[in-house]
């Protein structure tokens, strides 16, 4: 049994570039979440999918951010025209229902130079 | 307003001692869930324990127990017989009812276990 996986684990990019992260949830989990965690803070919710439908988005998710889950399996999070303030750990989580815990992946650490 | 408050930025404990990590929460929703996660230096969030607002008994999972005091809106994590591997950041989180999906996290407590 594999847990939630994320790729890449680390990404260094220059300001203004686009980046895309991938998340593969636990196979039977139909709910998938993205969070962002900056240094010294707890994770902050970005968006949530139930199967392929994106059902909730945080105000933190500006128009430079887009997330997809095209076939209800893996998800991608794209950040366009990256800014230094986007530097953070991006965490993906999945769950089988809302009544159970969310299982987190190892995260993608983004550094914008 | 802060929904989850963890007032202890750092805690230092001797190995084998018990430790209590504080968490208070704020919600007007009668249905909610409270979670504790551990985040080692590797970065992955590890689920530890869950307490539902309607649960009559405090949750326990091995060496972890949750001291749930609903009237005081507190959900403290108790770790018994601490081990060196318990050194990590610990986050308290809440999921409110009404179909809300997201977890709201506190700022965390860094726990250091000394040999």
Q: pLDDT of chain B along its 115 residues, tens only? A: 569 999 999 999 999 999 999 999 999 888 899 999 999 998 889 999 999 999 989 999 999 999 999 999 999 999 999 999 999 999 999 998 766 678 999 999 999 999 9
A59 touches chain B (CB under 8 A): no
Enter the tokens of residue A111: 């550094």
Q: Is-contact B107 A40, C-beta < 8 A?
A: yes
What is the per-residue pLDDT for A59?
87
Q: Which residues pair with B92 in a beta bridge?
A: B36
Residues of B in contact with A6 (CB under 8 A): none
Return the closest-CA partner of residue A41 out of B38, B77, B109.
Answer: B109
**pLDDT computed for residue B98 by the predictor:** 63
Residue pLDDT, tens place only, A26-82: 988 999 999 999 998 999 999 999 999 999 899 888 899 999 999 889 999 999 999
- Dihedral of the alpha carbons of A9, A15, A18, A19, in degrees to the nearest 10: 10
Q: What is the pLDDT of residue B1?
A: 57
Interface of B with A in 73-102 (CB under 8 A): 91, 93, 95, 99, 101-102
Q: How many CB atoms lie within 10 A of CB A30?
A: 16
Q: How far is CA A57 from the centre of its chain?
A: 12
Looking at the complex, report in whole angstroms how far the Cα of residue A107 sits from the nearest Cα belonging to chain B. Answer: 7
Q: Among all residues of chain A, which has the CA nearest to that of B9?
A: A40
Distances, alpha carbon A112 to alpha carbons A40, A59, A72, B41, in Å: 18, 21, 30, 21
b or e along B80-89 (b: 16 or more beta carbons within 10 Å of the residue's beta carbon)? Answer: eebeeebbbb
CA distance B10 to B32: 27
């Amino acid at each position: 049994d594999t847990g939630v996986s994320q790729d890449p684990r680390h990404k260094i990019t220059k300001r203004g570039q686009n980046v895309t992260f991938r998340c593969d949830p636990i196979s039977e989990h139909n709910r998938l979440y993205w969070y962002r965690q900056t240094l010294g803070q707890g994770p902050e919710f970005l968006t949530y999918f139930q199967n392929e439908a994106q059902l909730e988005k945080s105000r933190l998710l500006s128009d430079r951010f887009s997330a997809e889950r095209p076939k209800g399996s893996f998800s991608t999070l794209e950040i366009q025209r990256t800014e230094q303030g986007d530097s953070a750990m991006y965490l993906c989580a999945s769950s089988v229902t809302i009544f159970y815990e969310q299982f987190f992946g190892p995260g993608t650490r983004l550094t914008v130079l | 307003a802060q929904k989850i408050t963890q007032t202890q930025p750092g805690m230092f404990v001797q190995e084998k001692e018990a430790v209590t990590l504080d968490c208070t929460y704020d919600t007007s929703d009668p249905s909610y869930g409270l979670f504790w996660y551990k985040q080692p230096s590797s970065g992955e969030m590890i689920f530890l324990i869950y307490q539902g607002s309607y649960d009559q008994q405090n949750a326990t999972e091995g060496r972890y127990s949750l001291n749930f005091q609903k009237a005081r809106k507190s959900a403290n994590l108790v770790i018994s017989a601490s081990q060196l591997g318990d050194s990590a950041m610990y986050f308290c989180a809440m999921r409110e009812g009404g179909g809300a999906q997201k977890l709201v996290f506190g700022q965390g407590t860094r726990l250091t276990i000394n040999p």
